Amino acid sequence: MMQQKLSFPATPWGCRLAWSRLVDLGSLNWSSFKQYLDNKYAKCYATSIFEHSIKYYTYLDDVNQIQLVKPTVRNNIINALIALSRYLGNYEEFKREMDSHGIKRVKPDPIATFTRIFSSNAHVGLDKWYSDSIAVLNENERLYLRFMALSGLRAMEGINSFNLIVVMGSKYSTEYYNENTKFLEHFRYPKLFLRNSKNCYVSCVPKSLLDEISNSAKVSYVAIDKRLNRNNLPMKIKQLRSYYATQMRKAGLLSEQIDLMEGRIGKSIFLMHYFKENPKLLSDKIIELLPDLENSLTTAKMEMIIV
């Protein structure tokens, strides 16, 4: 048991935590912990860790509680508690408690994953959703949706990239975009785009779209989600990523090239492919395929697609 008295004044959101939730974990300054996370992780991951720490910090004092939560959120809780225990200097003790109770991260079932992929209806009706969403979103949000459809990025990677271009303005063309290779080079900003397991290195989208984004305004994932919800539309940005991979594969792009574009390779493999080969050949091919990809979302009737 961790035997220091907690003293929580207020969270960074201005609300005090209930006294019934206080446990002997030690005096913790939430603002300092948030700064620690921001310095260590990408913004979206740091936010997730912080929010789960706020909600589940008492589990450090009773690790058995972790086994009672749904498997879908268990890994997020474990990641948050690991970060919090490292900050508190109690990681080794927390790890021993986890090991002694046989608590481990949830690993995906490969058979279940295989079955889900080959029975998925994720892309059915995606064209209608895309058109309906474009109709209700603000101008900058419509640009973001198009950016996501043509880049294959994860949702928060797209938010970070979009907003970075907005902040840079016209400077993005030299500080973020490579005119020779025609790639948007995320790897120049590792804190934003390179994480322990999920990375994005480069994206290839029309320069005209990037120019429009540079003259636009920042977007918020939460704001987009709320606007879609008010119009009775679900959030399907995740499906755009899988749809991108499906369509590019059908159009002739190699699986390895798609993995490169969607960040599903290690850093060393990326360095080998991007810097030792001719990336211009790949970007030219992708740019050539993008109009058909976009047309399939805006004009063609969606069919049942197997990824």
| Two structure tokens written together for 87 | 């900050």
| Two structure tokens written together for 283 | 């970007």
pLDDT value for 4: 41
- Cα dihedral angle (281, 282, 287, 290), rounded to 10 degrees? 150
pLDDT value for 71: 84
Residue 77 CA to residue 68 CA, distance in Å, equals 12
| Two structure tokens written together for 74 | 């268990």
Residue 92 CA to residue 156 CA, distance in Å, equals 32
| Two structure tokens written together for 47 | 């936010």
pLDDT value for 120: 54
Residue 121 CA to residue 206 CA, distance in Å, equals 29
In sequence order, which ranges of the chain are alpha helices (DSSP H)?
30-40, 43-56, 71-88, 91-100, 110-118, 126-136, 139-151, 155-168, 172-175, 190-193, 207-214, 221-230, 237-250, 255-261, 267-276, 279-298
pLDDT value for 72: 79
pLDDT value for 180: 93
pTM of the complete model: 0.68
DSSP class of 59: G
pLDDT along the chain (307 residues), means of 10: 41 37 58 90 82 92 90 90 92 92 81 54 85 96 97 94 97 96 95 83 96 97 93 94 92 90 83 77 95 85 39
* Identity at 218, one-letter amino acid code: K
| Two structure tokens written together for 263 | 């960040």
pLDDT value for 112: 60
Instruction: Sort 188 into a burial class: Cβ within 10 Å, 0-12 / 13-18 / 19+.
Output: middle
- Cα dihedral angle (216, 217, 220, 221), rounded to 10 degrees? 0
